[in-house]
Amino acid sequence: AFLASAWMHNHPEEAVLGPVLPEAADGRKRVVILGTGWGATSLVKSLDPREYEVVIVSPRNYFLFTPLLPSCTVGTLEHRSIMESIRYITRHKQGRFRFVEGECTKIDPENKKVIVQDKSELHGATTESELKYDYLVIGVGAETATFGIPGVKEHACFLKEIWDAKKIRSRLSSCIESAAFSGQDPKEQERLLHMVVVGGGPTGVEYAGELYDYLDEDLRKWYPEIADKFRITLIEAHNNVLASFSKELISYTESTFKDNKINVRTQSVVKGVSPTEVTIKNPQGEIETLPYGLLVWAAGNTARPVVRDLMAKFPELQTCRRGLSVDDKLRMLGADNIFVLGDASASKYAPTAQVANQQGKYLAKVLSKVVNAEDPSKALQVIKPFEYTHNGSLAYIGSEKAIADLPLFGSNYSTSGPMTYLFWKSAYLSNLFSVRNASLVLLDWTKKFAFGRDIAR
Ligand code: FAD
Ligand code: NAD
């Protein structure tokens, strides 16, 4: 490491290529896990490797509790409350896990190695190294789909990572302060106070709900002169929002949004985005432009480049565009030593935290049987296939109301309203990663109740 950093000091713009970690001296097998998200962290938590080496590789040295991410965009929660360091998570198993902060840019299944990039700004360059594995677990998740629509990447804000939530919070604050600037042009003020959300899936709906709470509980108090001009528009390509929820909950959400003056524009498809306007094709087939101050893009998932690159190596077996196809034991089709979990895979379940979490636990059992087995294929044969248990779907829709589709005695039970909101709160509180996270979230909710949201940028 010393030689590498001295070399980098003299050659700041060039990359060093060498092994991140040498192979284990005692000949132990190595499992490399890519990611520190829902799937990978659930696997790491359940895994207790004593007879093999585990290396976790991720550009993020923490786990992020995504279900509460929309709350960070308006200051209901502070971002650190829903993050947990991967070193803290593995603290009781010290010495059995190694963590490398870096992004895997290439997977070479033939030579059983991955290329890892350290993009730290500290070096002023990108450092690249290779890492060999005996087994590889891909838990890199997915990225937000832009469908190649012009201007989305450049001008819209996504809502997937902690830095996205920070960017939205800062942008929202800028729009409001600028709109409140004395003598602001009325047309410009109107634009700055128009918040547009694209995508009526659970991410877009939950974000619109949080934004409404911010308007209703804080903006009206701190900026009474402009609050009535604040507008929220939700754009959805299909006939209705929340396609995966029951009809009853879809109408409940749409009528709550109507009461809260959130303008839901269904059957409207975004065609382009400029720094100040979003262009849509409306249900009549006409092209309309909507000036906006903040545009949040939540139009679904697509495979990450590293996953697409790997799929391209197996053109006959890897044909699903959503992600990597796997067998019933989560083994990648075409590569015996690679397992895939969560949003990176094209399994038949929805890309949710629930699925990734259960797959992580399952994979821990698989790896404990397979890694040191004399005949791994035979060992795999006696393991039961992965079976997903659906525990229900929950979403917050603003104004202290939530919706839930719950499986009950073999059928679906739909519930909504303020009591469901309390259920939503308790369910997420009890599912947070650690007691530390749960305490911080409780503290944030109490702080918000007592003092309102922190609206400083
Ligand atoms: P992720 O959790 O996204 O983790 C991917 C990991 O891989 C990250 O650590 C990332 O840094 C890392 N990584 C990325 N690229 C690389 C690379 N090249 N090399 C190495 N590592 C890499 N689901 C629910 O069930 N309930 C909910 O309430 C819910 N709410 C959500 C709210 C929001 C705002 C969002 C965005 C999603 C929500 N989801 C919810 C979906 C859920 O978050 C995902 O399905 C889940 O995170 C998938 O887990 P994963 O482990 O596959 O990926
Ligand atoms: P999604 O795929 O569920 O929804 C995206 C929506 O964007 C779709 O309804 C689609 O029709 C719309 N869309 C796409 N392109 C468009 C365009 N050009 N113009 C207008 N609309 C367009 O995406 P999501 O909400 O980010 O959710 C991703 C996954 O995460 C899902 O599996 C979801 O269940 C899960 N999730 C769950 C929760 C929860 O359970 N509370 C919360 C967030 C996310």
Mutation pick for ligand 1 pocket among 42, 44, 58 (CB with most ligand atoms within 8 Å): 58
290: pLDDT strictly greater than 50: yes
251 CA → ligand 2 middle, Å: 17
pLDDT digits (tens, 9 = 90+) for 141-170: 999 999 999 999 999 999 999 999 999 999
Question: Ligand 2 pocket, 273 CB below 6 A?
Answer: no
123 pLDDT band, cuts 50/70/90, is low
Determine the pLDDT at residue 25: 61
Q: Flag the least confident range among 11-25, 35-49, 57-71, 251-265.
A: 11-25
Atom of ligand 2 nearest to the CA of 159: 26
What ipTM does the predicted assembly reach?
Answer: 0.98
**Whether 165 contacts 159, CB under 8 Å:** yes
Question: Ligand 1 pocket, 159 CB below 6 A?
Answer: yes
Residue nearest to atom 13 of ligand 1 (CA): 140
* Ligand nearest to the Cα of 99, by number: 1
149 CA → ligand 2 middle, Å: 16
* Residue reference for tokens 């677990």: 137
pLDDT digits (tens, 9 = 90+) for 191-234: 999 999 999 999 999 999 999 999 999 999 999 999 999 999 99
Write out the H or E segment, with its range, that includes residue 421. helix 418-431
Q: Flag the least confident range among 3-12, 14-23, 217-226.
A: 3-12
pLDDT digits (tens, 9 = 90+) for 403-447: 999 998 888 899 999 999 999 999 999 989 889 999 999 999 999
**Mode of pairing for the β-strands spanning 113-118 and 277-281:** unpaired
Determine the pLDDT at residue 352: 96
Cα–Cα distance for residue pair 47/63, rounded to 1 Å: 16
10 pLDDT band, cuts 50/70/90, is very low
What residues contact residue 411 under an 8 Å CB cut-off, 6+ apart?
Answer: none
71 CA → ligand 2 middle, Å: 17
Cα–Cα distance for residue pair 97/115, rounded to 1 Å: 19
Q: What pTM does this model have?
A: 0.94
300 CA → ligand 1 middle, Å: 12
Determine the pLDDT at residue 27: 78
Query: At CA 353, angle to CA 37 and CA 103, rounded to 5?
Result: 20
Question: Ligand 2 pocket, 427 CB below 6 A?
Answer: no
Query: At CA 247, angle to CA 251 and CA 278, rounded to 5?
Result: 60
Q: Collapsing DSSP states into helix, strand and coil, what is residue 55? A: strand
Inter-axis angle of helices 38-46 and 353-370, to 10 degrees? 40
**Mode of pairing for the β-strands spanning 135-138 and 338-340:** parallel
Q: What is the percent of the chain with per-residue pLDDT over 70, rounded to a whole number?
A: 94
199 CA → ligand 2 middle, Å: 6
* CA distances in angstroms from 57 to 116, 260, 304, 344, listed in the order given: 8, 44, 15, 15
Long-range pairs, 403-408, Cβ under 8 A, ≥24: 403/242, 403/245, 403/249, 403/252, 403/253, 404/249, 405/245, 405/246, 405/249
**Whether 211 contacts 232, CB under 8 Å:** yes
User: Letter for the amino acid at 357?
Assistant: N
